[in-house]
Amino acid sequence: MNVELRHLRALAAIGDEGTITGAALALHMTQPALSRTLEQLESRLGTRLVERTTRRLTLTEAGRRLWEHAHRILGQVDSALAEAATGTRPRSLRAAFAWSALGSHTVPLLRAWRERHPDTPVHVRRVDDPEAAVRRGEADVAFLRAEPTPDPGLASCSLISEQRVAAVPEEHHLAQRPAVRLADLAGQPVAVCSTASTTRADLWPDTQRPPTFQVPGVDEWLTTIATGEAVGVTTAGISYTHPHPGIRYLPLSDAAPVTVYMVWPSSPSHPATEAFRRLVQQQLVS
């Protein structure tokens, strides 16, 4: 198809910026030149990648998929070229998570990795959508608390099951109980974090569903609960990584556990991916 890196860089910038104007500025080229590059890419592929109107620009489904692949491909090329030019070791392996990586297992895992692979550091960071970060090449592996979306470009494995816990204000009437049930929370507003996917209203039976409302992130979720505006439901990993002086975490005795998954590109974006996967599974099984 004779697709060149400049074509992929053009599509990546257009998808990132959302406009031809913004993408042209990011790539330091003129808008007509960028439009011609996009048209050339679409012509060589024989498919429409971008829908244009007078007011907005959106990627088609094919465009969105190629946009994600383009980020990963370009990242791999840039890393390989930098390594060859400078003679440096491979970059850090990037691990993404939305809330708490692997909870109480995170630090022991990273210490074990550092002992065995001192020349390959792991950089762990929080992102709103870790699965998308892997697709775009912004992360080499990700930890999820929702089943990965079927995608031939991604590989995955299940790791552990985490117990669900309730999060209530420390002065709440339930705070001193050793455990609670879903019905105990049914009459109260429940805060749901938009970047987490472990809690929805359908966790409760139809006749007991509480009112729910979304908050944008973990800090807002913690503050909303600590100030008494709502209660919450999350997983045990969150209670370990996000202790809060105004919140009590209580085991939920009748809620199904949450499976934690690891995902990575089917064609790994970092040479240490397989070794990292093996260590993760060894650490969590033991």
Which CATH number does 93-161+259-285 carry? 3.40.190.10
Query: What pLDDT score does 194 carry?
Result: 83
Tokens at residue 201, please?
Answer: 């209203």
pLDDT string in tens for the chain (286-residue length): 789 999 999 998 998 888 888 899 999 999 999 999 999 999 999 999 999 876 678 999 999 889 888 887 887 787 777 667 766 666 789 999 988 889 999 999 999 999 999 989 999 999 989 998 998 888 999 999 989 988 888 999 999 999 999 999 999 999 999 999 999 999 899 999 888 778 888 899 988 899 999 998 889 999 999 999 999 999 999 889 999 999 999 999 999 999 999 999 888 888 899 999 999 999 987 5
Q: Delimit the domains of the chain by residue range.
A: 5-86, 93-161+259-285, 164-256
Query: What pLDDT score does 90 carry?
Result: 64
Domains 93-161+259-285 and 164-256 fall in the same CATH topology: yes
10 Å Cβ neighbour count for 217?
Answer: 16
Tokens at residue 170, please?
Answer: 């420390």
CATH 3.30.1600.10 fits 164-256, yes or no: no
Q: Are 255 and 164 in contact (CB under 8 A)?
A: yes
CATH 3.40.50.620 fits 5-86, yes or no: no
Tokens at residue 200, please?
Answer: 């929805």
Distances, alpha carbon 208 to alpha carbons 1, 166, 181, 201, 202, in Å = 56, 16, 12, 9, 10
Tokens at residue 195, please?
Answer: 């970047």
